[in-house]
Amino acid sequence: PPAPSTMYRAASGLGALKQHGADTQLLNIAVRSASTSVAQRSSGGFLGWLTGARSNALPPPDFALPGVTIPPPLADHVEPGKTKITTLSNGVKIASETSPGSACSVGVYVHCGSVYETPETLGATQLLKKLAFTTTRNRSQLRVVREIGAIGGSAKASANRELMSYSYGALKTYMPEMVEVLVDCVRNPALLDWEVKEEIMKLKAELAEASSNPEAFLLDALHSSGYSGALANPLIASEASISRLNTDVLEEFLALNYTSPRIVLAASGVDHNELVSIAEPLLSDIPTATGTGKPKSVYVGGEYRRAADSSNTDLALAFELPGGWLKEKEFATASVLQVRIE
């Protein structure tokens, strides 16, 4: 049998455990009572706590707050805005469509890309893309950046083989300012010598970095081997071609290609009549010169191989799509097929 001292310690422990259980039960009862009393006192919910008022009934979910106007909800089905197009006397097209949101986007699109480059101007479109939203004849680069940032806007430019695009997005209320800044950057680039040289150095650095990534050259390789003519022009120009570019070359390229019949101002989320009234004075005096003719290209097919210091092999296979994106049905079919393959 256990020693008397052991039995005494066991009994003492059992008594302490019973006492602890009783204390816990009393604590639980007290907590429940306190919770009930608090719930009864604060039956007004969050609004009662916020205002200090007491209420025996909760307010309805659609309770209107003083001084707060709730906008009407959107309908279950919103009809898409119809595209409206206005052609100015000099051939510039202005297109727009409405949207129910609070933001709008404005863009200037020029039918000009690497296909319009000559051996003397190879790389001009890529350099112009880098020079977008820099110093103009009316604004410094700092002012351009500050005006875009002051309204919470975002602007960007892109260049491909057949199109130059400049876009600007912000709230609808700032649409007049957006159009004015955007047109100024497209029409009146100052092309300062130091800015041109700085962007040429950046292009060369990007070219050196891309040379170690063969995947970046695949699309160019497909076009250079698959086409004869304008579409074979490289989108990523060589360092030697970029070194030949300067302010005079860029100004001549702009004069030949940024002509009114090849320019479209498009916007989403704006009133068309208001857009035309703002944009027409800014665009109606663009020269109507035809500039260079439409470049010709012939699909010939071919193969391109390039050695690289890499353990990976990148492979691309392409086929011609006659008409390209100008034939909507064929373009949509090819786009779906491309996604399915990926």
Position 265 pLDDT exceeds 80: yes
* pLDDT of 291: 62
Residue 196 lies in a domain: yes
- Contact call for residues 104 and 171 (beta carbons, < 8 A): yes
Q: What range does the domain containing 301 cover?
A: 82-311
| CA neighbor of 109 nearest in space, from 97, 99, 94, 122 | 94
Share of the chain above pLDDT 70, in %: 80
Position 122 pLDDT exceeds 50: yes
Phi-psi group of 302: left, alpha or beta (phi > 0 → left; psi -120 to 50 → alpha; rest → beta): left
Looking only at the bridges linking them, the beta strands covering 164-171 and 263-268 are unpaired
Residues 6+ apart with CB under 8 A from 125: 112, 113, 114, 116, 117, 159, 164
Q: How confident is the model at residue 330 (pLDDT cuts 50, 70, 90)?
A: confident
- Contact call for residues 125 and 113 (beta carbons, < 8 A): yes
pLDDT digits (tens, 9 = 90+) for 48-97: 555 555 555 677 777 777 877 776 776 777 677 789 999 999 999 999 99
Position 180 pLDDT exceeds 80: yes
Residue 50 lies in a domain: no
Segment 265-274 mean pLDDT: 94
* Alpha-carbon radius of gyration of the chain: 34
Q: Lowest-pLDDT range, 81-85, 247-251, 309-313? A: 309-313
Residue 37 lies in a domain: no
Q: Lowest-pLDDT range, 24-28, 197-201, 262-266? A: 24-28
Q: How far is it, in rounded angstroms, from Cα 182 to Cα 94?
A: 14
Q: Lowest-pLDDT range, 19-33, 216-230, 324-338? A: 19-33
Q: How far is it, in rounded angstroms, from Cα 170 to Cα 154?
A: 7
Q: How far is it, in rounded angstroms, from Cα 179 to Cα 170?
A: 11
* pLDDT of 213: 72
Residue 162 lies in a domain: yes
pLDDT digits (tens, 9 = 90+) for 234-244: 888 889 999 99
Residue 98 lies in a domain: yes
Residue 275 lies in a domain: yes
Residues 6+ apart with CB under 8 A from 148: 133, 154, 155, 168, 181
The pair of structure tokens assigned to 60 is: 């309805």
| CA neighbor of 104 nearest in space, from 188, 172, 154, 40 | 172
CATH number of residue 280's parent domain: 3.30.830.10
Residue 2 lies in a domain: no
Residue 156 lies in a domain: yes
End-to-end CA distance of the chain: 81
Instruction: Tell me what the pLDDT averaged over the chain comes to.
Output: 81
- Contact call for residues 185 and 129 (beta carbons, < 8 A): no
Q: How confident is the model at residue 7 (pLDDT cuts 50, 70, 90)?
A: very low
- How far is residue 4 CA from its own chain's centroid? 84
The count of domains in the chain is 1
Q: How far is it, in rounded angstroms, from Cα 96 to Cα 83?
A: 6
- Tokens 């100052």 belong to residue: 190
